Every structure is written in C-alpha cells, then in structure tokens.
C-alpha cells in the first residue's frame, strides 16, 4: 500500500539527502507491508546512518590533504567524528528524536493501539499478507491522514512584531491548531476519512488546510491566535500553557461567529466550543465538571436560537500533578483514547508541547510540531495544492508517565446523541477513578462557590486534581481545601 510519505529528516542533513529521500519513498510501502517491525526499526536506523554518513562525507573532502600523514589524519578524523557526534548537535538531535529514551523501542506487534477512538491490532494481517483493515498498514494510513502543523518560517510578520517564524516558541500554538484541525476533519469528512493518494483533493479538506495557513487572511492562523490571546499573555515570542490556549480559541471563535455573514460562512467555526473549566483567570484544582446545561446553552447560543443542539468541541484543561502526572491518572488518560469522540491530548514534555493522538500500552504516540518548515500558502480553490507538509507518517512516542502534568483533553460530539454517548463513557470512567476522576458529568449549573487564594506557606502540598472526597452532582469544580493549583 502506497501511503503518504514525508521524510522528516531535516535534522539530519546529508550530501545525498535528495537521492536517499527518493529511495526511501520508493521502498517504504513495500517494507511496511512485508514486515511492520522491520519497517519501524529501519526508519530509525536509516536516520541515524544518514547522519553518520554525512559526517564521513564532509570529512572525505579534506582527507586528500592528509595522505602524507595517513595514520595521524585517520586518528584525528575518528576522534573528531566521535567527539562531534557525542558532544555536539548530532547526539542532541538524536536524543530529541527519541524523546529522552535511551533506546529506540519499536511499537509492539502484540499490543493494540488506540488512535483517536479507533483500535488497531498491528499484528492482525490476513493469510495472503494484506492488511485486515485494523492492522499495521491501516494504522499508518490513519496516522498519516491526521493534519500535522509545525513550526514555520518565512511568513509575514506577526502583528507589530518582527517575528516571521515561530521556531522555539510556537509549539503550544501549533499543537492546539492540530487538535482543532482534527475536529474539523471529523466534522466535515468523518472519522473514516483518509488522505487520498490522487489529486484533486476534497474541497472540504483543502478548506481546512487553508484555515490554518500562516497569514492574517487565514481564520485560524498563528497571527490571529496571538491577537485573540493577548488578554491571556499570548504574544509573539512567548510561550503559554494549555489552559490559556484553550481560552484563546474560545476568544478567537466568538468574534468570528458574531461577524459571520452569508459570504463569510466558511470562515466561522462550524461547532460550539466548551472549555470545561472555571473562572477566566484560572482554575482551582479538583476535577472539572462537564455540565449538560452549560453545553446545551452554548449550542443554543451558537445557533442563535435556531437549534437546541449543534456540534460541539469540548476542551478540558487539567493539571494532574506538580512536576509530573500523578500515576493514579495514567490509566484514566489512556482510557480517554477509547472514546469514539476522542481528539487526543494537547500536551507533551515540560516546555515542549506536542499533540498526542494515540496510545499503546504505556507509550503515548504523538505528532511533533518542532519540525521547521517553510511557510506555504494553500488556496481554498486549489484542489491540487501540495499539502505534503501537513502530513507525517513518522510515528513518535514517549512514555505516558513522562508527559507534562499540565495538559488539555479534546472531544468532538457531532450531535446530541453523540454528546450523550460521550457523557456515558465519561461517567463510566469516573466510576473507575477511585475518587480521583479526570472530570465528571452533571446535569445542572450550581451557583459558583467563592474562590480563595492559595497560601503556599500554610497549605500542604499535593497534586492538583488529587481528590478523595465524594463526587458532586452539580456543575462547578471539585476542590479540596489543601489540593489545588493555578493552571
């Protein structure tokens, strides 16, 4: 099966990179089909060898000048290679590529993978060697069809700043763009949609990609997000957390919807946004509550009273510990990927946001926004546009217990029945939480409780959301007297 391939090896430049990229593209499909495990290992090994060979090639140009002192030159050359690789950028890039892992663990061929509500059994192949539809090739096709948004350079300056790139600071924004882009894919094209191999592309797909272009003319661009997030401290060159990012999307979509006319319908968000959290300035700890009453009101407001229910995007920002995720929440986070409404997790390692789209055993599978690419313009009427830079077939993973404790979970509900099904799954998950749920569900809105401030000298330390009290059945947040944290 020929899958959309894109080499993500720009961190490993080589003199023959063009040739190697062509060879990789020509052989990748066959390797995936014949041996999934071999394909995963070969992908990583080829990247490492490409980096190593590039060092050899650069050194060979100067080797002729050392022929008279061959022994000394070879000794010096090997010393330089090892020193540069271990102590220089190549080893750091390799370390980053493995996300802190000391070894290149391939995906298990026996454990199932959950990818945004879909289950894949990578060892499940039919007797004739073809994919059964839930095997490894089907997983890769699904994974590579997700919209991948990364650092870009060369776009127009953001606002009054001089920033024409978001390298080293825009990963949280890019990750949030990805989670919203998947919601739009599910809304317009359905969960079963896969990126076609042939052009022209679907108009809805091109429209979605266009919305996330890097200019003020694109509704959900980094330029417009920064403008919308000013009140939450978002500015070009700065970094912010998941809670503020969720609120930024809420702010961006609201004025877009209010000014939408018949000729601008495509510019608006086709769904309501519900940030399941408390007051605008932050959130005291405890499990936030999904209020059916609030969701219904948001849908009614979104449709301007024309409908009782509309599609809705739920964003649930959480803090699940201090320096790392409390281990009691790991099984619950894993379970959210089995929800049919799952949009994954906006999170990653501390200071390095990623978009987590799947889970296998104790490993989180993610799309990495830290790849630097040139800004491109995808016009909405160009159905043959090159969108290869918006997709990635390289599956990266990291231990689930190493992700940042500050994160946000996303869900997309198409209609009221879908929302009711989500609430049913969430309630079942809460029953498994042993008094410490990620979030709960309630029907009606309760009058807000007074907020008091945290005194670090008198309050005892504890993981945020670490509740042991009984669940509340009204909307608000579960707050222990000594366990809460500002998002």
Residues 21-58 pLDDT 10s: 433 444 444 444 445 444 444 444 444 444 443 333 33
How many angstroms separate the CA atoms of 175 and 368, rounded? 8
The stretch 350-363 carries a mean pLDDT of 94
pLDDT band per the 50, 70, 90 thresholds, residue 322 = confident
- What pLDDT, on the 0 to 100 scale, is given for residue 278? 52
pLDDT band per the 50, 70, 90 thresholds, residue 346 = very high
The mean-pLDDT minimum among 301-310, 420-429, 462-471 falls in: 462-471
C-beta of residue 279 within 8 angstroms of C-beta of residue 449 = no
- Distance between alpha carbon 187 and the CA centroid of its chain, in Å? 18
C-beta of residue 402 within 8 angstroms of C-beta of residue 388 = no
* First vs last C-alpha separation in the chain: 44
pLDDT value at 484 more than 60: no
The stretch 141-154 carries a mean pLDDT of 97
How many angstroms separate the CA atoms of 277 and 247, rounded? 10
DSSP helix/strand/coil, 340: coil
- Distance between alpha carbon 392 and the CA centroid of its chain, in Å? 12
Q: Rounded to the nearest 5°, which phi and psi values hold at 352?
A: -140, 85
The answer to whether the peptide bond before residue 134 is cis (omega within 30 degrees of 0) is no
C-beta of residue 149 within 8 angstroms of C-beta of residue 391 = no
Neighbours of 403 (CB within 10 A): 23
pLDDT value at 166 more than 50: yes
The stretch 375-393 carries a mean pLDDT of 95
pLDDT band per the 50, 70, 90 thresholds, residue 206 = very high
Which is more confidently placed, 40 or 305? Answer: 305
Q: Does the annotation mark 368 as catalytic?
A: yes
Which is more confidently placed, 43 or 249? Answer: 249
Cβ neighbours of residue 472 under 8 Å, at least 6 residues apart? 289, 440, 442, 446, 478
The stretch 177-186 carries a mean pLDDT of 98
Q: Which residues pair with 465 in a beta bridge?
A: none
C-beta of residue 111 within 8 angstroms of C-beta of residue 360 = yes
Cβ neighbours of residue 453 under 8 Å, at least 6 residues apart? none
- What pLDDT, on the 0 to 100 scale, is given for residue 289? 92
How many angstroms separate the CA atoms of 288 and 314, rounded? 12
Question: What tokens were used for 118?
Answer: 């879909």
Question: What tokens were used for 226?
Answer: 């920064």
pLDDT value at 185 more than 90: yes
pLDDT value at 92 more than 50: no
C-beta of residue 26 within 8 angstroms of C-beta of residue 5 = no
- The DSSP 8-state label assigned to residue 102 in this structure reads S
DSSP helix/strand/coil, 343: strand
Burial label for 87, CB within 10 Å (0-12, 13-18, 19+), is exposed
- What pLDDT, on the 0 to 100 scale, is given for residue 281? 41
pLDDT value at 129 more than 60: no
How many angstroms separate the CA atoms of 154 and 157, rounded? 9
Sign of the alpha-carbon dihedral angle for 272, 277, 278, 280: negative
| Catalytic residue of the set 9, 218, 299, 370 | 370
Average pLDDT, the chain: 75
Which is more confidently placed, 225 or 464? Answer: 225
The stretch 202-231 carries a mean pLDDT of 95
- What pLDDT, on the 0 to 100 scale, is given for residue 255? 63
- According to the per-residue pLDDT averaged within each range, which of 7-11, 274-278, 315-319 is highest? 315-319
How many angstroms separate the CA atoms of 418 and 406, rounded? 27
- What pLDDT, on the 0 to 100 scale, is given for residue 14? 36
pLDDT band per the 50, 70, 90 thresholds, residue 135 = confident
Element (H, E) at 79: helix 70-87
pLDDT band per the 50, 70, 90 thresholds, residue 285 = low
C-beta of residue 440 within 8 angstroms of C-beta of residue 469 = no
| Catalytic residue of the set 9, 24, 142, 368 | 368
C-beta of residue 42 within 8 angstroms of C-beta of residue 13 = no
pLDDT value at 459 more than 50: no
The stretch 350-361 carries a mean pLDDT of 94
The stretch 371-388 carries a mean pLDDT of 96
| Catalytic residue of the set 171, 291, 392, 413 | 171
Q: Which residues pair with 352 in a beta bridge?
A: 349
Which is more confidently placed, 104 or 81? Answer: 81
The stretch 92-97 carries a mean pLDDT of 43
| pTM (two decimals) | 0.72
- According to the per-residue pLDDT averaged within each range, which of 95-109, 250-264, 418-432 is highest? 418-432
């Amino acid at each position: 099966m020929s899958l959309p391939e894109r080499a993500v090896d720009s961190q490993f430049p080589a003199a023959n990179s063009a040739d190697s990229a062509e060879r990789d593209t020509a052989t990748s499909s066959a390797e995936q089909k014949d041996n999934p495990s071999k394909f995963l290992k070969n992908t990583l090994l080829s990247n490492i060898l490409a980096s190593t060979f590039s060092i050899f090639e650069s050194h060979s140009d100067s080797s002729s000048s050392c022929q008279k002192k061959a022994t000394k030159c070879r000794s010096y050359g090997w010393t330089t290679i090892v020193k540069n690789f271990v102590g220089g950028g190549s080893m750091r890039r390799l370390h980053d590529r493995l996300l802190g892992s000391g070894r290149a663990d391939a995906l298990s061929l026996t454990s199932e993978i959950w990818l945004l509500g879909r289950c894949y059994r990578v060892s499940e192949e039919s007797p004739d060697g073809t994919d059964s539809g839930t095997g490894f090739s089907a997983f890769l096709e699904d994974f590579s069809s997700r919209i991948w948004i990364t650092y870009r350079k060369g776009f127009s300056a953001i606002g009054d700043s001089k920033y024409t790139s978001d390298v080293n600071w825009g990963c949280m924004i890019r990750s949030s763009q990805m989670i919203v882009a998947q919601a739009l894919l599910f809304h317009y094209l359905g969960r079963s949609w896969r990126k076609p191999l042939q052009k022209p592309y679907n108009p809805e797909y091109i429209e979605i990609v266009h919305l996330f272009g890097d200019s003020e003319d694109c509704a959900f661009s980094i330029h417009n997000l920064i403008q919308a997030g000013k009140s939450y401290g978002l500015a070009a060159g700065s970094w912010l957390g998941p809670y503020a990012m969720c609120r930024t999307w809420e702010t961006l979509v609201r004025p877009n919807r209010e000014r939408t006319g018949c000729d601008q319908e495509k510019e608006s968000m086709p769904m309501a946004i519900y940030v399941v959290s408390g007051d605008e300035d932050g959130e005291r700890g405890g499990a936030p509550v999904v209020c059916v009453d609030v969701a219904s009101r948001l849908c009614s407001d979104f449709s301007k009273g024309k409908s009782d229910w509309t599609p809705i995007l739920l964003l649930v920002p959480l803090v699940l510990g201090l320096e790392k995720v409390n281990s009691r929440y790991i099984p619950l986070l894993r379970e959210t990927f089995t929800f049919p409404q799952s949009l994954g997790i906006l999170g990653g390692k501390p200071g390095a946001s990623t978009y987590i789209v799947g889970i296998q055993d104790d490993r989180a599978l993610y799309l990495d926004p830290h790849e630097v690419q040139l800004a491109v313009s995808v016009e909405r009427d160009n159905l043959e546009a090159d969108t290869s830079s918006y997709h990635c077939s390289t599956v990266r993973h990291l231990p689930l217990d190493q992700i940042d404790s500050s994160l946000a979970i996303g869900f997309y509900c198409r209609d009221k029945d879908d929302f009711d099904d989500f609430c049913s799954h969430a309630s079942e998950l809460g029953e498994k939480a042993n008094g410490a749920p990620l979030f709960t569900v309630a029907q009606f809105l309760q009058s807000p409780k007074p907020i008091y401030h945290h005194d670090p000298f008198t309050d005892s330390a504890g993981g945020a959301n670490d509740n042991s009290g009984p669940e509340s059945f009204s909307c608000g947040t579960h707050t222990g007297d000594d366990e809460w944290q500002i998002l």
